[in-house]
Structure 1
């Protein structure tokens, strides 16, 4: 967990503006602090010196006459206004920047998820992703509103104030330089402890989110088997564990704040004692001594507050680290890129697998596969479950990359997966998904070819395609693939178990539609274990796990 991750500036451009504007405002605020401390010291000196009579030694050295009280008071007021305005500006810039940064990080993460393979191997559930992109990134508000302004002040104000102290009183400045590193050392030590407890709390929150989603998803099954009470008890236990870990984080945060304040107080007291001793002995001007004492706390305030603010924003930092990892998880390119589309007037391109082997979690899912799908041909891919049939289609689509071998084919491919993946909206919108200018006639033709002509294209579906039976949803998915093939003049049509939920008569109609596509010049590759589909194909490629591989 880094106090400032460079990836934040890389993936959220708004963060650069926050730090740039914050730097300028921080510099103005620091200058205002210096002027305010000087003016206040002079005001006190002007008022106090006449009260103590004739001071001894250097106490009255450099003091202004009483007649200068008003213009010094004016300078103090101007400095105070500038300091307040700069502080307000830093808070405003940080708060608005947090909104833009969260939006940009969410957008980049969602783009990464959209561009990445749906065949994710990171084993992260949707609930964990939602927690990171929702609650997790929202926790960056505390990071930007509390931590970032203090970090900027620490980087700008602290060196500048120490330099001013060095010019005003070298003895005090050297003392500050000696004792100042104590606070960062405590911050580092406390930071390690905070990181450990925060990581455990964040992991528990994600586990709680995933468990709750699992219970909601399987609630009907739990009710049938009368197991809902047990799951309620489990959720209650995990909620209590999360509460306990949250209290641990808060306890460490409060203790860390106390330690940092204690270290800063001791450091300030050490310098104040030396200044006070010299003032009493008449070895130091009163105005300069007051200036040093007023400026001294401002040296330690940013570093003390940055530590406290850092501990308060660790949840957002933990979530942002996961988001950065999600963004950086690039989609793996195919070892052999698929060739470009030859165009409607040119001869169609088929699909070819040359000794293709795909790994999952470092293990091959099948033996090396070699076969081709020529234009005008229907090829069925068969084999036992887990033999790698769907994985080969994922390799064609670019969802996974072959560990060895080559996949070659056209750029435009129409595809229908095992799950139709329907969205809320009309049937026509689902069939023409991704088409900026849907063709209503082509939608109706696709539904008819998919053996569902009776379905009105204007029928509205609920979330996940609610409102259709499993067989109807499957045929809408087939219609979508056909629509894309016709609309984009795709050379190859891929279908994964397209008839698993269909009756024999409907299945025969779908097989006739696939044959019609092949007769039109397209290559058709269909994964299926259904006998009617295998019998309607020109060739059947049987996948096995034997070392000899598959050749067809």
Structure 2
């Protein structure tokens, strides 16, 4: 990490003016500080001599007031500049990433950290460090020049010793760099773990593994704490070393001055001026050291961004085009052929995904149909055509493309916002409405809020089929010559599919459309056909056509399972082998235990005492130094000064040592508390999943778990410790002054009370504004997380060559709202800082006058008069720092309120029951007029039903298929059956017992769920399967994979069951979830469109294998594919006006036996 790289200013033009302004203010503040030192020396000399005080005191008060003005201006400019530059960097980084293929940008977990917390760390780098660097280059030189005029010998000492500070800082900084890099690695791991776990919480809850993750979260947080504390120890040691060196250097100046005073070779005023000027030469360099370590994270992030070309040295914001050739334009203006020539690609951790693929299609409009079995690489081919991935071999020729993915990206926001992602002002509201009408979605959205309908993460609020239709509507609004559709009708109800076929064919009349489909009806309409087969097995696969079980068993020998059943291949692990029931060290299910931190409070108390001791040593050092210099001017015997000399040395040494100890202990305590609280927060998220959180508020949850919780815990370091330190130091200063001059002690006490009043006033003003600022900041973080966590899917919509302004517009607006919200805080903080400097000026003037009067009256000797006069100035920085204490307290309170709002939501399932289910092999499940809703309560406690009252009986061993239009409530019915959602009306019975009265965990433990968007964790195949049954052995895992037709897929993995999952197709992801259900052995299996992304042959094998492996179990499947229904009892859910009605919670009888008309036809 270089102290400063000019390339950063070239890469970020927006930093130039703010940094120049801040640097100018910093230099002016340094000049004023030099003038203040001279004025203070004159004032103290006149207090000692009894000479007229008013002129010099007027200069001191004026300079202190001016310093307050510059401090306020610096605070305002610094905060504004930091926020502005961070926003510019964030947008530049995202813009750059949106123009690059996936291989040319960081992994998702790194991107989330770097664009979120990383860019936020740029604020102190720009706002504090860069101006401090400029100040350090100018002010010491001015101080030395002033010393040359005042005392050349003192100037010589400073010139000789000053270069030692940056040398020591550089040496220690080299060590800090490596530790900072490790800490960012730990932060990336932490962010990746939380993102993955929050995404997969519904899966963890379904299989009863969420509670087991609490300890894993605690362990990951502990690793982060250890990495951070190691870095901080070095960083704080650097600051302490610089301060100690500066103290020793000033002591050398003091020794030389004192000896000359003792021998009468120097005037007192000159001596005091030299002593007070010398620290001003070292202070800017010390500040650079402190700010450098505070801004080290920002410097590391900027360096990483510059190193990988994300922030180009020329400051351009151009986007990269990926690696492909544009299709030539034909004479009719249409793009030329779309082709892949000898293309190969492998996802990370996979030996091959597609191998030697050569496909081409004629130029001009038309429909190209791409078919092939699940896992053949069809989605990868579309991503290569869209330039989202870089081929490892071969070439891809294609024009700019729009890709409607299997899992279409729908960011949190309105329907309008998501349609507008195509960019370029492609459509107004009228065009958007027409597009929705063409795909049959207009009426469903009009019943809500039309284009203003709010969607959650991943389109929460819409069914899978509705999300697919919204993606197709967005594709019709795009202007790209190539449109890529990945199974656009797989999740759409059969009755709506013909209309979507017409939309696709209409698109193909004006543009080239490449569609991946398993729908034979759509395939017939293609004028060009591509077909893919899975990549051949690796060479290590058995050559003989052995039985599938033997082939997989052969592979398993290369994947030795660790004795503790834990996956050791993933970057972070999911503790699948944790005990099913909590141990005493884990939270009791359903109860969040109070946070207990052994030694935490004692450590915090010790940190407060150490901090108070450090600041008190600073006060004593200043006061004792003043006494010593004045006493030396009386030319006593040197031995009479030894006690004071030893005291000055002790105070000078103990101040940085105690400060170092306080900072290390306080940060260690805070980080330990943070790890514990983060695990506690995760435990509190579990009851809210999936209905209240899950996919709905992922960015909100991640912001709460990371940024808001950081602010809450930071109060220990930024509020508790400095507040008590200030109180103790002020008490010491007031007592020291009162000992010699009671009136001075009283004035200092009044000044302290005035300081406290101003700080509390600042807190009161900021508390209201901080709430808005924290909410605005959380919106920035949420939107950034939503985008960086889905960069590939967003690029599918925008392409890699289009201007991403439409995608970044929401983040840009959120950044502006954040800056406006912070502006009120910054103004209030700046005014408080200016007022606090005025209090310091007033207190210093009053004490100086009292000391002068006492000296003139003979009540005080000269040395003690100097001691008393210097006490208020020794407390100046401590008092002014209370403005930051108040601001940190207000922010912590606002963050705590927002955290409480996220965690304080009422669970969608109230597991109050303690009854045990009947002892039956397969339970009988009955929905008796059950209605349900996902959303929270509307006005007057009323809900809009997502599932109209439904009667449904699942007899043991039955196979029932739920069908019906999209949005009728099929997935909601599955959520009720899985005990992820409580009925709002009616009764859900398990073996005749009301499910509400049964133990929640016991009921869920009998039901396996295959979600419509199943999650695969960032771990190995083994770890993902063991979530369903931790005691399973490898033979069980292999059997489950074979049952759902994943034998060939497993054979292609380089490490077999130990392979880390990457690049799963939609069909592979669905079958992996089905394998979990098979492995779990649970008597009831609920499947939500499990075969939507499978070809017919694979779907027959997978579903057949699942049913064969689960003979005798109850199976309930939601499906829109008529071919899937053979052997199943169909139950069609029809639309009902009741679904659009509402029900009052208050009107529901306690017995939950409200009868509603059935909407089921059999």
TM-score, normalised with respect to structure 1: 0.79
Deviations 1:313-367 (A, max 9, x none): 334444454565584385344442345698xxx4533433263636557988432
Contact 2:26–2:135 (CA under 8 A) maintained in structure 1: yes
Q: 1:437 aligns with which of 424, 428, 447?
A: 428
Q: 1:347 to 1:214 in 2, by over 3 A?
A: closer
Shift of 1:260: 2.0
Deviates more, 1:187-196 or 1:131-140: 131-140
Instruction: Give the superposed CA RMSD.
Output: 3.8
* Map 1:235-384 → 2, pairs under 5 A: 235-321=217-303, 327-328=310-311, 331-339=320-328, 346=332, 348-353=334-339, 355=341, 357=343, 359=345, 365-367=354-356, 369-383=358-372
2:402 & 2:185 partners in 1: Cα distance? 40
**Counterpart selection for 2:87 from 103, 106, 123:** 103
Q: In the alignment, what sits opposite 1:22?
A: 22
**Aligned counterpart, 2:386:** 397
Greater CA drift, 107-116 or 255-264: 107-116
* 1:125 alignment counterpart: 108
Alpha carbons 2:343, 2:393 under 8 Å: kept: yes
**Does the CA contact (< 8 Å) of 1:415 and 1:494 recur in 2?**
yes
Aligned to 1:527: 516
Inter-partner Cα distance in structure 2 for 1:497 and 1:253: 54
Give the structure 2 partner of residue 37 of structure 1: 37
Distance in 2, matches of 1:428 and 1:238, equals: 39
Aligned to 1:416: 404
**CA, structure 1 residues 197+427, in 2 after alignment: closer, same or farther (shift >3 Å)?**
closer
2:438 to 429, 434, 446: 446
Please state whether the residue corresponding to 1:366 is helix, strand or coil: strand
Q: 1:466 aligns with which of 460, 465, 479?
A: 460
Cα deviation for residue 167 of structure 1 reads 4.4
Paired residues of 2:439 and 2:500 also in contact (CA < 8 A):
no
Q: 1:509 to 1:93 in 2, by over 3 A?
A: closer
- Separation of aligned partners in 2, 1:78 and 1:92: 21
Q: Note the C-alpha offset of 1:145.
A: 5.6
1:154, distance to aligned residue in structure 2 (A): 1.0
Aligned equivalent of 1:180: 162
Tell me: CA distance 1:356–1:507, structure 2 relative to 1, closer, same or farther (3 Å): farther
Change (3 A) 1:108 1:523: closer
Rounded to whole Å, the distance in 1 between the matches of 2:248 and 2:198 is 54
- Of the structure 1 ranges 501-510 and 148-157, higher mean CA displacement relative to structure 2 is found in 501-510
Which residue number corresponds to residue 1054 of structure 2?
Answer: none
User: How many Å apart are 1:295 and its aligned residue?
Assistant: 0.9
Q: How many residues align structurally?
A: 516
For residues 37 and 482 of structure 1, do their structure 2 counterparts lie closer, same or farther at Cα, with a shift above 3 Å needed? Answer: closer
| Whole-angstrom distance in 2 between the partners of 1:261 and 1:431 | 57
Is the contact made by 1:22 and 1:149 (CA closer than 8 Å) also made in structure 2? Answer: yes
With over 3 angstroms needed to count, the CA separation of the structure-2 counterparts of 1:510 and 1:139, relative to structure 1, is: closer
Query: Structure 1 172/424 Cα, relative in aligned 2: closer, same or farther at 3 Å?
Result: closer
Give the match for residue 205 of structure 1.
187
Structure 2 residue matching 1:229: 3-state secondary structure: coil
Partner in structure 2 of residue 496 of structure 1? 486
Secondary structure of 1:25 counterpart? helix
Matched, 1:233 2:215: yes
- The Cα offsets for residues 168-188 of structure 1, whole Å up to 9 and x where unpaired, read as 443332322222222222212
- 2:78 is the counterpart of 1:94: yes
Whole-angstrom distance in 2 between the partners of 1:210 and 1:536: 43
Whole-Å separation in 1 of the counterparts to 2:420 and 2:293 = 50
Aligned equivalents of 1:446 and 1:383: distance in 2?
Answer: 29
CA distance in 1 between partners of 2:498 and 2:510 (Å): 20
Aligned partners of 1:453 and 1:280: how far apart in 2?
A: 93
Q: CA–CA distance in 2 between the matches of 1:501 and 1:159?
A: 72
CA distance in 2, matches of 1:453, 1:22: 53
State the alpha-carbon separation in 2 of the partners of residues 180 and 427 from structure 1. 62
SS of 1:357 mapped into structure 2: strand
Unaligned 5+ residue runs, structure 1? 52-65, 547-552
Cα distance between partner residues in 2 of 1:400 and 1:120:
7
TM-score with structure 2 length normalisation? 0.40
Q: Which moved more, 1:244-253 or 1:287-296?
A: 244-253
- Report what 1:218 is aligned to: 200
Structure 1 range deviating more: 299-308 or 254-263: 254-263
Which residue matches 1:160? 142
1:371 is displaced (CA, Å) by 1.6
Q: Distance in 1 between matches of 2:338 and 2:241?
A: 67
Assess if the C-alpha contact under 8 Å between 1:334 and 1:401 holds in 2.
yes
Residues 70 and 273 of structure 1: is their aligned pair in 2 closer, same or farther, counting only changes over 3 Å?
Answer: same
8 Å Cα contact 1:380-1:539 kept in structure 2: yes
CA distance in structure 2 between the aligned counterparts of 1:47 and 1:516, rounded to whole angstroms: 93
Alpha carbons 1:424, 1:462 under 8 Å: kept: yes
Q: Measure, in 1, the Cα distance between the counterparts of 2:303 and 2:158.
A: 35
Give per-residue Cα distances to partners, 1:357-393, cap 9 Å, x unaligned: 3655798843252522343543223345565543443
Q: Which residue does the alignment assign to 2:872? A: none
1:29–1:86 CA contact under 8 A, matched in 2: yes
Task: Return closer, same or farther for 1:507/1:261 CA change in 2, 3 Å cut-off.
Answer: same
**How far off is 1:442 after superposition?**
3.2
Change (3 A) 1:516 1:187: closer
Deviation for aligned residue 1:299: 0.8
Q: Is this contact kept in 2: 1:442–1:483, CA < 8 A? A: no
Change (3 A) 1:20 1:503: closer
Asked if 2 retains the 8 angstrom alpha-carbon contact of 1:219 and 1:228, the reply is yes
Instruction: Show the counterpart of 1:54.
Output: none
Asked whether the equivalents of residues 366 and 387 of structure 1 are also in contact (C-alpha less than 8 Å), the reply is no
1:235-272 Cα shifts (integer Å, max 9, x gaps): 12222333344444444344333322221111111122
Cα displacement (A) at 1:77: 4.0
What's 1:540 paired with? 529
Aligned counterparts of 1:416 and 1:337: Cα–Cα separation in 2: 20
Is the contact made by 1:380 and 1:526 (CA closer than 8 Å) also made in structure 2? yes
The 1:173–1:356 alpha-carbon spacing in structure 2 relative to 1, beyond 3 Å, is farther
1:189 to partner: Cα distance: 2.6
2:1000 aligned partner: none
